[in-house]
Amino acid sequence: MATIFSGIQPSAQAPHIGNYIGALKQWVELQEGNDALYCVVDLHALTVPQDPKKLQESIDQTYALLLAIGLDPEKSTVFVQSQVPAHAQLGWVLQTISTMGELSRMTQFKDKSAKFKDSIPSGLFTYPTLMAADIVLYDTQIVPVGEDQIQHVELARNLAQRFNNRFGDTFVVPNVQIKKEGARIMSLADPTKKMSKSDENKHAAVFLNDPLDVIQEKLSRAVTDSQTEITFDPERKGLYNLLSIYKILTGKSEVEIEQDMKGKGYKEFKQEVAHQVITLVEPIQTRMQELLSDRTALHDSMKRSAEKAASRAQKKLEEVYSKIGL
């Protein structure tokens, strides 16, 4: 049994199938037989300007989504970051042992700050220290994320080691866990780019809350190539991406899929992929609507989980405060 921690930002835009395949699917698998904590990281969302009403709604939506994909509050601790004050408190402490140099090297900071020109929010810069706090508060051993978060988990490892060296053994040094397959699902409109929530092209990503006909439409338009045979060839990026999605959702082997698709055209194959995606998202959407229709029950569930997380986190924070002389 391992201690697992991961987080997802609440956003008005629901996660896409890249988020699901790269991260969320593993979360559900890992809750079996492990001590797993999953967090809606609302404090992280504040690193870019937010509308308060919309943020509140996004937190509910994201929390409901985590339950709808199959995270079970009886098996794992699914909670909202701002409801456990120790995250922000330890975040500050870790910020004081981090350096400008190491934070400047974060590629996500470089990407995201480029949009802000002269007035880059400083929270965007210090964000990885808060993420490190999220992780080390619970003696986390494994952090399941997509590829783009590896560098942040590396930093969490460095900060945990640095703290341990300066103040004595306090934190478990966490390990990142990346799925070999699906860690990087590509845009349907441009398979050389990662599938992303913020893509301007409306056909780039399939979102978990997309109407079913929209899913069909997006997949039917997915960029492929002018060849005809359906085979796993990483050079044929568009097709390879669709095949990867199909493989992960069906659990079939590459040989089996190539066999099944012999003699079939792209149109038919894309319909098959759409069918698999719809089979995945339809029950998630139904469950999410049910959960969101009773906000009192939803908020009660959040509160209970936050209390569970907080009693663990508070102990760690007290140990840290005492070690650093507070």
Question: By the criterion CB under 6 A, which residues form the site for ligand TRP?
Answer: 5-7, 9, 41, 44, 131, 134-135, 143, 145, 149, 152
* 7: helix, strand or coil: strand
Among 33, 34, 35, 44, which residue's Cα sits nearest to residue 7? Answer: 44
The one of ligand TRP, ligand AMP, none whose footprint includes residue 194, by CB under 5 to 8 A per kind, is: ligand AMP
Q: Which does 41 bind (CB under 5 to 8 A by kind): ligand AMP, ligand TRP, none?
A: ligand TRP
**308 annotated active-site:** no
Q: Are the beta carbons of 209 and 288 closer than 8 angstroms?
A: yes
**HSE on the CB side for 314, CA within 13 Å?**
9
Given the residues 25, 112, 179, 247, select the one marked as catalytic. 112
**Phi and psi at residue 315, to the nearest 5°:** -60, -45
Q: Catalytic one among 197, 252, 264, 308?
A: 197
> Closest distance between ligand AMP and the C-beta of residue 66, in Å?
12
- How is residue 84 written in tokens? 């456990």
Site string for ligand AMP, 169-208 (x = CB under 6 A): --------------xxx--------xx-x-----------
**Residue 216 touches which of ligand AMP, ligand TRP, none (CB < 5 to 8 A by kind)?**
none
Q: Annotated catalytic residue: which of 25, 179, 194, 316?
A: 194
- CA dist 131 and 113 (Å) reads 17
Selection from ligand AMP, ligand TRP, none that 135 binds (CB < 5 to 8 A by kind) is ligand TRP
Site string for ligand AMP, 134-153 (x = CB under 6 A): -----------xx-xx----
CB atoms within 10 A of CB 193: 13
Residue 76 corresponds to which amino acid? S
Restricting to residues 276-315, name those near ligand AMP by CB under 6 A: none
- Tokens linked to 285: 């959407």
At closest approach, how far in Å is the CB of 127 from ligand TRP? 7
194 is annotated as an active-site residue: yes
Are 27 and 71 a contacting pair, CB within 8 Å? yes
Binds ligand AMP (CB under 6 A): choice among 5, 9, 160, 306: 9
| N-to-C CA span, the chain | 33
Active-site residue, 247 included: no
Question: How far are the Cα atoms of 37, 87, 99, 130, 173 from residue 310, in angstroms, in the given order?
Answer: 12, 9, 28, 16, 21
And the tokens for 194? 């990662």
Catalytic residues: 112, 194, 197
Residues forming contacts to ligand AMP in the complex (CB under 6 A) are: 8-9, 18-19, 21-23, 145-146, 148-149, 183-185, 194-195, 197
